Chain A
Amino acid sequence: METSAAKDSASTYSPKQLQEMIAAFLGSDHVPKRFKIISDTSDFFRVEYNDVVILAGVPYLMRNYTREGRFGLDDEPKYWVRKAINLKKKEVKIMKFVFHEEIDAHVGEMIFKCVRSPGKEAAILDMVTGHKNFMHGVAVRDTAGNIIRILDFIRGKRLDELVYKQAENHEEFFYHHLPGYLSVYGEMVKAIQFLHEQGQKHGDIRRDHILLDRESGDYRWIDFDYDYYQEANMFGYDLFGLGNILIFLVGGGDITIQHLRAHASSFVDKLSLEDMNIIFNNRVANIQKIHPYVPDALNYILLHFSNGANLYYENTAQLLEDLAEVQIHA
């Protein structure tokens, strides 16, 4: 069989050896005839499907890139995040190449600068080794010094996909499913507290950045390469994200003004601006006004994230303290 593999100087594998390894994983019928062997990933657009990337002496067969999944970015390809197969261990991995990006993060009407930091994600991966509430992986440098993150592939659904359509109606969801989710939520807040105590932040806390690992049954935070600089409170944006997730959970999904109007709900007239999410003004934060069985202790927490709030959570300990007071009884 003829191959035109372009061999990189750092590779210790011959094209023939790699083809044998690929055959052992994919079967001999699926061995690519032409592929590149790459050890410098600076130009990650050059890394194509079926190429082999060598990192720390391990060959990885490159598969498809991943896609962003929410907020109007559906199907937006993330070219720097690729599925890959560790040909030595025959394991599926997610590989994140270095993509230095400065982003204007839009939060409601506010805009602030965010950077994508491979070094931050690498530091956190090291920090959370063995922690059940985070994705796991290692960071290695390619021959050009780029910090490549090689992540364990998590098979499972996103938290937001799990919450939708759990029950016939909200009351049933509230009494039968929410207590379990609140327990998970508390666990996830403690995981963020673990980062904060070590001076790190998640940086992009969203409900679709929590995955339920089907194999272990653990919920895990993913994607922590965003970083930003806020000197008045380095962790304020993380707390904002935690608040949004709680509002989403208690509501059994987003309760928006548009949704209430579409269903000609009588609650629309009872809501004021003070009841709405402080940043996303179309989302109801004072959920007790819609569902009166939401206990005061829980609604009190939600109100910290509403327009009517005069006091905000400054750290995870304050949020956890209030969360510990919440009890839901049928």
Chain B
Amino acid sequence: MTTDHTKCDITGMVERHIMIAVDSSDNARRAVLFVGDFFGCYEGFQLTLLHIILEPEATFFSDNEARQQWLSEKQTDARKFMEDYRHILVDAGFPDDRINVRIDTMRASSVADCIIREQEEMKCCTIVIGRRGISKKEEFIFGSTSNRIIHEAKKCAVLVIE
């Protein structure tokens, strides 16, 4: 009998599929470096680099042109840092064809909700995310993506990188 090392027995998920949820911040970069250092030398992992562009309601913008410009700038920025992160992972030893880069534009009340939705759809067994290190007051008013994921994510492990 052979063991299928692509299966993640603990979570029951389809395979050893790690999602790294990122943005342009230093802590997101640290999360990518961590995954590279920690898992880069092993085989059998599928990686998804995910960046969510949380699109505000159309009424947030003065007109559709402003909305399109906002989205275009966000996507251009995202493509740049996602390419940088992909390089880090390839340099760490992950095969290029095992790295899935996704930039999703979504509407929701929080980025965390989008990340969890994507994790459930892709059946990732682990979410890796950087922590911003915000103050209690900032978390109270603006919310914390990493805390929300810790509280809300189900059937997966969550790694929060400081």
Contact = CB atoms under 8 A, between A and B. Distances in A.
Interface stretch (B52-60, B75-83, B86-94): B52-60
Contacts of B145: 231-232
Contact of A122 (B59, B110, B140): B59
Nearest to A305: B140
B51 to A, nearest CB: 11
Query: By DSSP majority rule, is chain A's interface helix, strand, loop, or mixed?
Result: loop
Given A232-B148, A234-B110, A120 B140 contact: no
B139 interface: yes
Interface residues of B, number: 26
Contacts of B5: none
Given A240-B141, A278-B140, A233 B110 contact: yes
B141 A236 contact: yes
Contacts of B148: 232-233, 314
B142 A233 contact: yes
Contacts, number: 84
Given A109-B137, A110-B138, A231-B111, A236 B59 contact: no
A86 interface: no
Given A240-B141, A278-B136, A279-B140, A233 B109 contact: yes
A279 B139 contact: no
A27 interface: no
16 contacts: A110-B137, A112-B141, A112-B142, A196-B109, A199-B107, A199-B109, A227-B59, A229-B56, A229-B60, A230-B141, A233-B142, A234-B54, A278-B137, A279-B141, A309-B140, A314-B148
Interface of A: 100, 107-110, 112, 115, 117, 119-120, 122-123, 196, 199-200, 227, 229-237, 240, 278-279, 305, 307, 309, 312, 314-315
Q: Which 10 A/B pairs are nearest by Cβ-Cβ distance? A: A233-B143, A232-B143, A119-B59, A120-B59, A231-B54, A236-B143, A231-B111, A234-B109, A232-B145, A230-B142
